[in-house]
Structure 1
Amino acid sequence: MVTAAPPPAAPAATLHAVVAPVRVAPHGWTTHTVRDGETLDGIAQRYRTTVRVLASHNGIRNPGMIHAGDRLSVPRTSGSASSGSSGSSSSGSSRSAVHVVRDGDTMSGIAARYGVSLAGLLKTNHRSASSLIHVGDRIVVRGGKAGSSSSKAASRSSKPASRTYVARSGDTLGGIAARYDTTVGDLARASGISSRSLLQVGQRLRVPTTAAHAVSDTFNGVRYPAGVVGAARRNHDLLARRSVPSRTETKRLIAETARRHGVDPRLAMAVGYQESGWNQRAVSPANAVGVMQVIPSGGDWASSLVGRRLNLLDTRDNITAGVVMLRALGRAASGTDQAIAGYYQGLASVQRHGMYSDTKAYVRSIKRLRATM
């Protein structure tokens, strides 16, 4: 399954209500503008602080829910400049960049792309070799070679071709930029609009893009067969042209479907939140599709459980597939943790080999999310 950072949903009006002790920010505070797909946990890791500190300082009642566009006060890291809305930082004369994780990225791949060591990249971002990264995470890259293969730098210098994108319900400039591996600034310039513009359904944008498809052929160090990737890209392109429910509506659909099938709504919402950010257009290199990131064989299994053919490209059917799979796993597993692990790793594999390190991290993440729903 491909994990994705959850969508935000708490009012920005609650920000800056409580000030935490200054000792948690020895170098002062700066401002971070939340981008589509970011989580408070990921932001805390980036600024070397904790979710509790950020929530307290910004008056956030539900740490699991933040909105794209919210401006958060975050601790300034030693020697760094204010990140502002761009999210970039600098330290002395060393070269620094921020990479927004997209579908299929791995830490080793990001390190190779920017010409830095994997060990250094992990240390900079306070991660271990077994850490999961999620679509929308922001990875700080320091000390990259001037001649590295950053596609953003290359695209700016070579004036790349662009493609037309028609805005759909729930789209944001940040989300579209992350999907096509560009920046909000470049996307706005190409489209002749302000980077602060609110998108209208049906609005036509020009998206700077390289030859790479939005769906990579690799995820978590695994390269998938060309046939699987080809099917995933076809599904991605089909969904990109379809209208899908907003994330708020998707959350409601997950809860309703879970109740109807006797599944804990909070668990189902957490799984959908982790898997796709409640985004029906999400497609992984493994051809895991939609809100619940269901692969075709999973769709076949879910169809047999409900007694009809489920269309994974349809949001309601996709949610139904994920929910009835969770129900079946809950009945067959020895406990909730094993059922969650089975959704990610496969129950037979979990029972035979135990949970892999990334599976354990997935289970922890789902349980944290469930507590916020």
Structure 2
Amino acid sequence: MVIALPPATAPPVTLVPTHTVSHATPAPHGWTSYTVRSGDTLIGLAATFRTTPRALAVKNGLQDARQLWAGSTIQVPGRVGSTAKAAPRSTGRTLGAHTVRAGETLTSIADRYRTTVPSIAKANGISTRAFIFPGQTLRLSATSRASGATSTATKAGSAKASGTAYRVRSGDTLLGIASRHGRTVSALVKANGLRGTVIHAGQRLVIPAAAARRTEAPNTFFGIRYPDKVVANAARNRQILAGRTVPTRAQTRTMIAATARRHGVDPRLALAISMQESGWNQRQVSVANAVGIMQVIPSGGEWASSLIGRRLNLLDAQDNVTAGVVMLRALTRSAGSEDVAIAGYYQGLSSVQSRGMYSDTKRYVAGIKALKGRM
């Protein structure tokens, strides 16, 4: 969404841990090269290669964990009879591979295959809290099918104790589910360990207990607090759209692609961004009053109106798509690269150019590019 979630005054920092369990020798078999994969963390790599996050940081000159990104090459401890570039071996029986879909988490994937998050994390050499994105391929390991089933049952029991289990149906959105159960979107995100707001049919969610609602401010989202007026306007727009007929997902997809072609924007890019932002749902309105299919806030709508030369109504599906597409066109022309344009749609182009991409922005860009490849 364009500037719908204003960034903090400084980018979020994930510092290298200063207090860790040390090993007598960080690299008893010497060091070798390793290509960082999406979801890798210093802590996860340290566990995989039997060293410490601090030793990895010192060896590679890393000041903080933000300097670790997919595709970069770092030095890690070598292993006897193997190389660091080889994928970490799983001690369990391999079940196959799974391509991550929008809205999936490690927990939902583990539930689906009746395995555990630690088993998947170990099979892929990633942290159990690693960020995953649509299009990513994960190896599946049946280290303990029985324990996986037990884990699922335990989580189901835990859900009953702390909340209610809910199976996502076609057409559901986090906003709609939150509204029906009297919860906030941020409460659902926190309760389910989600990295975003996109969900998919068949996904299992936990609806937190009502008591949790008292700790959630109604005008906050992902830790950002919005003025009461903005929240009230968002509620009003949500109510208006609830009473309107909106296009189906198939109709929305056709509309986005046609509008993108008409304005010289790559249809796959526009489809990917709109899928990530709203799941192609015109009724989606965030607490920050980002409206509709392209999740455009009012100031973004004013900008888009000036770009196209007429007043755009963000509550109208076609106008909403047009607003997002023409802004994306302007960002692409100004940014100099597609990655920066995508980042600008999420973080704001001026912020990206002056501060660089924040860690969550980098994840957003990676997710959009993965989605684009599937459109």
- The TM-score bracket by the shorter chain reads 0.5 to 0.7
The 1:39–1:252 alpha-carbon spacing in structure 2 relative to 1, beyond 3 Å, is: farther
Residue matched to 2:197: 134
Residue matched to 1:189: none
Alpha-carbon separation, structure 2, partners of 1:80 and 1:339: 43
Report the alpha carbon displacement of residue 24 of structure 1 after superposing the two structures with TM: 3.3
Contact 1:342–1:348 (8 Å) recurs in 2: yes
The 1:354–1:245 alpha-carbon spacing in structure 2 relative to 1, beyond 3 Å, is: same
**Is the aligned partner of 1:102 residue 2:174?**
yes
Contact 1:105–1:218 (8 Å) recurs in 2: no
Alpha-carbon separation, structure 1, partners of 2:297 and 2:198: 18
Alpha-carbon separation, structure 2, partners of 1:212 and 1:241: 30
Kindly provide the CA deviation profile for residues 323-371 of structure 1, in whole angstroms up to 9, marking residues without a partner as x. Answer: 0000000000021000000000000000010111111111011000000
TM-score of the aligned structures, taking structure 1 as reference length: 0.55
The 1:149–1:312 alpha-carbon spacing in structure 2 relative to 1, beyond 3 Å, is: closer
Residue matched to 1:175: none
The 1:97–1:240 alpha-carbon spacing in structure 2 relative to 1, beyond 3 Å, is: closer
Root-mean-square deviation over aligned CA pairs: 4.4
- Matched residue type, 1:334: G
Alpha-carbon separation, structure 1, partners of 2:343 and 2:254: 24
Contact 1:244–1:315 (8 Å) recurs in 2: yes
Residue matched to 1:277: 279
**Is the aligned partner of 1:317 residue 2:322?**
no
Residue matched to 1:24: 94
The 1:95–1:42 alpha-carbon spacing in structure 2 relative to 1, beyond 3 Å, is: closer
| Identity percentage of aligned residues | 51
Contact 1:294–1:321 (8 Å) recurs in 2: yes
Residue matched to 1:80: 149
Match of 1:44 among 90, 93, 109: 109
Alpha-carbon separation, structure 1, partners of 2:291 and 2:335: 24
Q: Which has the larger radius of gyration?
A: 2
Residue matched to 2:338: 336
The 1:257–1:109 alpha-carbon spacing in structure 2 relative to 1, beyond 3 Å, is: closer
Alignment of 1:169-180 (within 5 A): none
- Matched residue type, 2:149: S
Kindly provide the CA deviation profile for residues 61-114 of structure 1, in whole angstroms up to 9, marking residues without a partner as x. Answer: xx86xxxxxxxx997572535969xx96348x9978657893464479836xxx
Alpha-carbon separation, structure 1, partners of 2:282 and 2:174: 16
Kindly provide the CA deviation profile for residues 27-69 of structure 1, in whole angstroms up to 9, marking residues without a partner as x. Answer: xxxxxxxx9x84488843666349xx9xxxxxxxxx86xxxxx
Residue matched to 2:361: 359
Residue matched to 1:254: 256
Residue matched to 1:287: 289
Alpha-carbon separation, structure 1, partners of 2:156 and 2:338: 41
Report the alpha carbon displacement of residue 320 of structure 1 after superposing the two structures with TM: 0.3
- Matched residue type, 2:264: G
Contact 2:280–2:293 (8 Å) recurs in 1: yes
TM-score of the aligned structures, taking structure 2 as reference length: 0.55
The 1:45–1:274 alpha-carbon spacing in structure 2 relative to 1, beyond 3 Å, is: farther
Contact 2:189–2:195 (8 Å) recurs in 1: no
Contact 2:103–2:196 (8 Å) recurs in 1: no
Residue matched to 1:220: 222
The 1:286–1:23 alpha-carbon spacing in structure 2 relative to 1, beyond 3 Å, is: same
Contact 1:271–1:366 (8 Å) recurs in 2: yes
Contact 1:269–1:370 (8 Å) recurs in 2: yes
Contact 1:280–1:290 (8 Å) recurs in 2: yes
SS state at 2:272 partner: helix
The 1:306–1:108 alpha-carbon spacing in structure 2 relative to 1, beyond 3 Å, is: closer
The 1:323–1:149 alpha-carbon spacing in structure 2 relative to 1, beyond 3 Å, is: closer
**Is the aligned partner of 1:150 residue 2:209?**
yes
SS state at 1:24 partner: strand
Contact 2:278–2:284 (8 Å) recurs in 1: yes
Contact 1:236–1:281 (8 Å) recurs in 2: yes
- Matched residue type, 2:209: S
The 1:238–1:300 alpha-carbon spacing in structure 2 relative to 1, beyond 3 Å, is: same
Alpha-carbon separation, structure 2, partners of 1:77 and 1:285: 42
SS state at 1:360 partner: helix
Alpha-carbon separation, structure 2, partners of 1:278 and 1:140: 20
Q: Following TM superposition, where does structure 1 have runs of at least 4 consecutive aligned residues deviating by more than 2 angstroms?
A: 22-26, 37-50, 73-84, 87-91, 93-111, 135-141, 210-213
Alpha-carbon separation, structure 2, partners of 1:239 and 1:108: 22
Alpha-carbon separation, structure 1, partners of 2:162 and 2:103: 24
Alpha-carbon separation, structure 1, partners of 2:94 and 2:331: 42
